[in-house]
Homo-oligomer: A and B are copies of this chain.
Amino acid sequence: MPSTRVHELALSLRAAYLTLHRQTETGLARFGVTADQFVVLASLARDDALTQRDLVARTTSDPSTLRAMLVLLERRGLVERRRHPTDGRARSVRLTTRGRRTFNQAWSASEPLRQRFAAALSRDEVAQLTTSLNEIAILMSRSRRPELVD
């Protein structure tokens, strides 16, 4: 596979992600929620209570990055962190009532974005694309110390 083509693909991936991210950012600004925070809220909305470790995995983020985000969300009263019932090391993170309400509003408000996001794709293409992108994420996250060549 020619390297230049792959680089082009990488640029396209970047462009798609950044435009989505930016649109989400501006679309959700009035709820006081960033696009990244929205991803966290969406994870919590689905599973009720998660550890920070779980959230790190679901949001593809770093432990200390996630913590910073949770601290901000906690200050705004959108999430709460309690001691985990069985594991004393862990924290159990969940949405507050207000957090759930805010998320529901943000979810509804972002509906047009999702529609537009997938406008050019059939249901099969959405599935196909999701699979390919997941595959890429898995392959890329292996071997944290890739061998590099001069």
Contacts and interface: CB of A to CB of B under 8 A. Distances in A.
A147 interface: yes
A146 interface: yes
A137 interface: yes
A132 B129 contact: yes
By DSSP majority rule, is chain A's interface helix, strand, loop, or mixed? helix
A46 to B, nearest CB: 9
Interface string A102-136: 00010011111111111111010111011011111
Contacts of A112: 146-149
Contacts of A137: 12, 15-16, 19
Contacts of A7: 42, 114
Given A14-B60, A133-B13, A148-B109, A140 B116 contact: yes
Given A1-B115, A17-B17, A113-B140, 14 more contacts: A3-B114, A5-B126, A10-B117, A12-B129, A13-B133, A14-B17, A14-B21, A14-B39, A16-B133, A27-B146, A112-B149, A120-B132, A120-B135, A121-B136
